[in-house]
Amino acid sequence: MTRRDTPTLTLADIAERLGARLVGDADRRVSGLATLREAGPDQVAFLANRAYLKDLPETRAAAVLLHPQHGETCPTARLELDNPYLGYAALSRLFDPLAGRPPAGVHPSAVVDPSASLGARVEIGPSAVIEAGVTLGDDVIIGPGSVVGADSVIGAGSRLHANATVCHGVVVGQRAILHSGCVIGGDGFGFAHDGARWHKIAQLGGVILGDDVEVGSCSSIDRGALGDTIIGHDVKIDSQVQIAHNVQIGDHSALAGCVGIAGSTRVGKHCMLGGGVGLSGHLTLCDGVQVTGMSLVTNSITEPGVYSSGTGAMKNAQWRKNAVRFKQLDDIAKRLSRLEKGRDG
């Protein structure tokens, strides 16, 4: 793979692509973006958080993307938008060095089973492997060393980065991004115990990823035991996440790094799970639930809102005393009740 050279755009180009109102020199050329503090005179900066308003007067940027309310205090050209953070997202994609390259085709070292079906403009990197019966949609990019297992389907415009693995019988929607080291469709963790040893339960289901799903580096989504593990549209999954068999995640939910979800749990739409959150198996979380970092959820949640568990960090010397008391907590509560009764009595 090659990266394309960073494109050079005029402020007029950018205003048009972002739907922004430009105040300033339309022909000025820029070749990148940066923060207000770090932007040079050939870059665009953005103001999407009031905390950085203090950096606006001193910026050296060629132009600043901001909300119209801050236009007056901008010392340089400006691109006004009602949602400058969304504008920043769009702007970042204009400068993405991986976008807009001509597809490189199928590398001679890639191994593509003759029964696979390849759409238009498909790119398959060196040492990649496409097994029997696979379907790759138009504009799919398969990174070097990646493997797509038998009979899997990768929707149009999706990309597997290097060394990603999609196992057999998996369906990936359109415009999905699967990062390096992730594994989609490994076996779920299913065994029956005979009183002495374990017997494997073959994992006969698959995994279905919706459109616009992103899966981070080294994350794993296991195949279902009987039915499928189902990830909705526009679900964003960070790195080092584990999703067990037959989990379902509703559309537009986001899972931060190191989240673990046990089998058959259903997460609603528009949920947000903080880093390291754990969900026990067979739970249901309704739409709109947020769970803060490293919380453990062992019961279903039926009401939208923010949920937490755990204790905040403190100095170890202090913590040791409190952690000992935690083990006495039920006793403390009972003794308190006894005292209260004595006082009332």
Cα–Cα distance, 233 to 222 (Å, whole number) = 18
Mark 152-173 as b/e (b = at least 16 C-beta within 10 Å): bbbbbbbbbbbbbbbbbbbbbb
Should residue 111 be labelled a site residue for a second copy when binding is judged by CB under 8 A? Answer: yes
Query: 284 and 265 in contact (C-beta within 8 Å)?
Result: yes
The window from 9-17, 18-26, 62-70, 109-117 that contacts a second copy (CB under 8 A) reads: 109-117
Backbone angles phi, psi at 318, to 5 degrees: -70, -45
Should residue 182 be labelled a site residue for a second copy when binding is judged by CB under 8 A? Answer: yes
Three-state DSSP class for residue 285? strand
Work out how close the CB of 106 gets to a second copy at its nearest, in angstroms, rounded to a whole number.
13
Query: 236 and 255 in contact (C-beta within 8 Å)?
Result: yes
| Binding to a second copy in span 16-45, by CB under 8 A | 32-35, 38
Distances (CA, A) of 82 to 10, 85, 241, 345: 21, 9, 34, 64
Nearer to a second copy, 50 or 315 (CB): 315
Nearer to a second copy, 72 or 196 (CB): 196
Q: Which of 283, 261, 262 is nearest to 273 (CA)?
A: 261
Paired tokens of 227: 């039915």
Q: Of the listed 245, 252, 270, 282, which one is catalytic?
A: 245
Contacts of residue 35, defined as CB under 8 A and 6 or more positions apart, other chains included, come to 45, 46, 52, 55
Should residue 106 be labelled a site residue for a second copy when binding is judged by CB under 8 A? Answer: no
Should residue 200 be labelled a site residue for a second copy when binding is judged by CB under 8 A? Answer: yes
Q: Which of 47, 74, 78, 125 binds a second copy (CB under 8 A)?
A: 125
Three-state DSSP class for residue 167? coil
Nearer to a second copy, 119 or 181 (CB): 181
Work out how close the CB of 28 gets to a second copy at its nearest, in angstroms, rounded to a whole number.
20
The window from 7-15, 17-25, 61-69, 304-312 that contacts a second copy (CB under 8 A) reads: 304-312
Work out how close the CB of 307 gets to a second copy at its nearest, in angstroms, rounded to a whole number.
5
Work out how close the CB of 111 gets to a second copy at its nearest, in angstroms, rounded to a whole number.
4
Nearer to a second copy, 11 or 213 (CB): 213
Cα–Cα distance, 302 to 340 (Å, whole number) = 35
Q: Which of 179, 230, 250, 273 binds a second copy (CB under 8 A)?
A: 179
Should residue 88 be labelled a site residue for a second copy when binding is judged by CB under 8 A? Answer: yes
The window from 8-16, 22-30, 73-81, 131-139 that contacts a second copy (CB under 8 A) reads: 131-139
Nearer to a second copy, 53 or 319 (CB): 319
Binders of a second copy: how many residues, by CB under 8 A?
143
Q: Which of 63, 209, 254, 273 binds a second copy (CB under 8 A)?
A: 254
Distances (CA, A) of 30 to 15, 16, 96: 12, 14, 14
The window from 7-15, 16-24, 52-60, 80-88 that contacts a second copy (CB under 8 A) reads: 80-88
Q: Is 179 one of the annotated active-site residues of the chain?
A: no
Q: Which of 102, 194, 302, 345 binds a second copy (CB under 8 A)?
A: 194
> For the CA atoms of 74, 77, 82, 87, what is the dihedral angle to 10 degrees?
-120
Burial of 31 (0-12, 13-18, 19+ CB in 10 A): middle
DSSP letter string, 104-120: --B-TT-EE-TT-EE-T
Should residue 242 be labelled a site residue for a second copy when binding is judged by CB under 8 A? Answer: yes
Nearer to a second copy, 25 or 251 (CB): 251
Q: Which of 133, 135, 284, 288 binds a second copy (CB under 8 A)?
A: 133
Cα–Cα distance, 111 to 114 (Å, whole number) = 9
Should residue 10 be labelled a site residue for a second copy when binding is judged by CB under 8 A? Answer: no
| Binding to a second copy in span 45-74, by CB under 8 A | none
Contacts of residue 203, defined as CB under 8 A and 6 or more positions apart, other chains included, come to 187, 188, 190, 222, 223, 224, 225, 245
Residues acting as catalytic residues: 245
